[in-house]
């Protein structure tokens, strides 16, 4: 694809976004990838390729048709009229790098790992090699996960040696072999299968030292959960399932640097979660799944988006587990605004300070995730506090410590 054609297509997507269509990075990526995979023999082929990958609501069809007719006239690309309207800085970005909102890109400034930043830092990062000790921990995670991950009943019936629903088809089939005499009874029942696992990993600057171990943990879990999906988020949402599914852990981690462009940058948890929930096909990945979020919850700015999206994610999920590296401190309390806001929606708050701590959290999934009610997590960190007479104390209701 030539530079002028890429600029024109990005301008077309920007025009759709300005017209009110929900142009998430996933949809932009799908459209631009489809341009390289579909044989476009006519304008109609281009129209339907965009319609299928971009439009998700009937109300948006008229808007899409109007903008398409402006940007693609009589089968010819109107580059001369539109290339000046396209932001050249956007054309240099890969499909997965479309930003949320109006956050601008800034000059390179590595995250310190100590605090969250709102900056949009488009960078690559080479992750360190995995030593023998951490490789052994990853193998232990894979072995443990195979036994502790939650299961559910399959929808389809399968043969069962005893108990379940009577399999009349097999019974009647054997009647013909035994001259109409019932010798054996056969049964079917719904077998247990692993629930889908969805892992959302924060790769912002405040988790600079812990995000590589979280990615190693995700790689190990994928060995035990074939239907697992992994996304990373900082200032944008990136699906890394296929890249992380490679056999060797270091090979998979090195290839992530070509996929994740917001390593060690700012933190925009709420918009990232909203981008995930804004795509119907991604919502399916969370429905009935064990959702594991690895993040410190250090959201910048308004936390209403993070709170609303997390609560919605919790309603879709079978269980929502939130693992934070801040819990490595014995004096830890969920005092950040983000964690306070989502504490009532999660089923478990765990430790993600080290790879060993992540292994311990995975080991505890069987006995804790399945039995603990969500209100139990919130009540652990809340207690009634009497009025102290300070101006900001308006009641004696429980508050998060």
Is residue 377 within 8 Å of 349, Cβ to Cβ? yes
The pLDDT-based confidence of 108 (bands split at 50, 70, 90) is very low
Residue 285 near residue 313, CB atoms below 8 Å: no
pLDDT for res 359: 93
Q: Are 204 and 118 in contact (CB under 8 A)?
A: no
Question: How far is residue 193 CA from its own chain's centroid?
Answer: 22
pLDDT of residue 42: 82
pLDDT digits (tens, 9 = 90+) for 217-265: 999 999 888 889 999 998 888 899 998 887 789 888 888 888 888 887 7
Higher pLDDT, 281 or 215: 215
Q: Note whether 43 and 36 are within 8 A (CB).
A: no
**How many Cβ atoms sit within 10 Å of the Cβ of residue 98?**
22
Residue 130 has pLDDT above 80, yes or no: yes
Residue 73 three-state SS: strand
Is the entire prediction scored with pTM above 0.85?
no
Please, what is the average pLDDT of the chain? 77
pLDDT at 81 over 50: no
Rounded Cα–Cα distance for residues 397 and 289 (Å):
34
Share of the chain above pLDDT 90, in %: 21
Residue 353 pLDDT: 92
Phi, psi of 324 (to 5 degrees): -125, 135
Distances (CA, A) of 128 to 121, 125, 252: 20, 9, 12
Distance CA 66, CA 69 (A): 5
Tell me what pLDDT residue 369 has: 53
Say if residues 243 and 259 touch (Cβ distance below 8 Å): yes
The confidence score (pLDDT) of residue 94 equals 38
Confidence of residue 16 (pLDDT cuts 50, 70, 90): confident
DSSP 80-139: HHHGGGS-HHHHTS-GGGPPSTTPPB-------SSS----B--B--PPPPPPHHHHHHHH
Q: Is residue 2 pLDDT above 90, yes or no?
A: no
pLDDT at 325 over 70: yes
Q: What is the pLDDT of residue 382?
A: 58
Distance CA 359, CA 379 (A): 25
Q: Which of 90-104, 226-240, 364-378 has the highest mean pLDDT?
A: 226-240
Task: Indicate the class that CATH gives domain 194-400.
Answer: alpha beta
Residue 136, pLDDT above cutoff 90: yes
Which of the given ranges, 37-41, 114-118, 316-320, has the highest pLDDT on average? 316-320
Residue 175 has pLDDT above 90, yes or no: no
Confidence of residue 90 (pLDDT cuts 50, 70, 90): very low
Residues β-bridged to residue 160:
187
Q: Which of the four pLDDT bands, split at 50, 70 and 90, describes residue 112?
A: very low
- What pLDDT is recorded for position 267? 83
Backbone angles phi, psi at 315, to 5 degrees: -70, -35
What pLDDT does 14 receive?
Answer: 84
pLDDT at 165: 82
Residue 200 has pLDDT above 50, yes or no: yes
H or E element in which residue 76 lies: strand 76-77
- Give me the residue spans of the domains in the chain: 3-97, 155-190, 194-400
pLDDT of residue 93: 40
pLDDT above 70 as % of the chain:
77
């Amino acid at each position: 694809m030539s530079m002028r054609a890429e600029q024109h297509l990005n301008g077309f997507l920007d025009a759709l976004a300005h017209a009110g269509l929900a142009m998430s990075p996933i949809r932009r990526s799908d459209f631009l990838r489809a341009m390289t995979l579909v044989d476009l023999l006519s304008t109609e082929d281009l129209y339907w390729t965009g319609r299928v990958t971009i439009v998700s609501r009937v109300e948006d069809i008229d808007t899409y048709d109007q903008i398409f007719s402006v940007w693609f006239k009589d089968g010819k690309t109107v580059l001369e009229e539109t290339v000046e309207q396209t932001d050249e800085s956007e054309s240099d970005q890969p499909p997965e790098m479309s930003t949320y909102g109006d956050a601008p890109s800034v000059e390179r400034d590595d995250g310190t790992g100590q605090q969250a930043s709102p900056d949009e830092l488009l960078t690559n990062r080479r992750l360190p090699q995995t030593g023998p000790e951490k490789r052994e921990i990853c193998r232990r995670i894979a072995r443990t996960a195979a036994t502790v991950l939650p299961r559910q009943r399959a929808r389809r019936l399968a043969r069962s040696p005893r108990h379940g629903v009577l399999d009349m088809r097999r019974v009647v089939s054997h009647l013909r072999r035994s001259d109409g005499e019932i010798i054996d009874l056969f049964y079917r029942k719904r077998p247990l299968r692993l629930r889908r696992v969805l892992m959302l990993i924060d790769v912002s600057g405040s988790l600079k030292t812990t995000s590589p171990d979280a990615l190693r943990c995700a790689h190990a879990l994928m060995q035990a959960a074939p239907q697992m999906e992994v996304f990373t988020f900082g200032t944008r949402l990136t699906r890394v399932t296929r890249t992380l599914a490679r056999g060797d852990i270091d090979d998979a981690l090195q290839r992530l640097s070509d996929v994740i462009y917001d390593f060690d940058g700012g933190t925009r948890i709420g918009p990232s979660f909203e981008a995930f929930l804004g795509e119907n096909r991604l919502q399916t990945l969370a429905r009935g799944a064990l959702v594991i979020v690895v993040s410190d919850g250090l959201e910048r700015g308004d936390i209403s988006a993070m709170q609303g999206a997390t609560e919605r994610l919790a309603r879709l999920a079978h269980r929502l587990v939130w693992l934070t590296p801040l819990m490595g401190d014995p004096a830890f309390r969920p005092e950040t605004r983000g964690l306070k806001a989502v504490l009532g929606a999660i089923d478990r708050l765990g430790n993600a300070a080290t790879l060993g701590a992540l292994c311990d959290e995975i080991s505890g999934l069987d006995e804790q995730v399945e039995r603990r009610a969500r209100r139990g997590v919130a009540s652990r960190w809340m207690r009634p506090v009497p009025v102290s007479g300070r101006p900001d104390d308006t009641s004696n209701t429980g508050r998060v410590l």
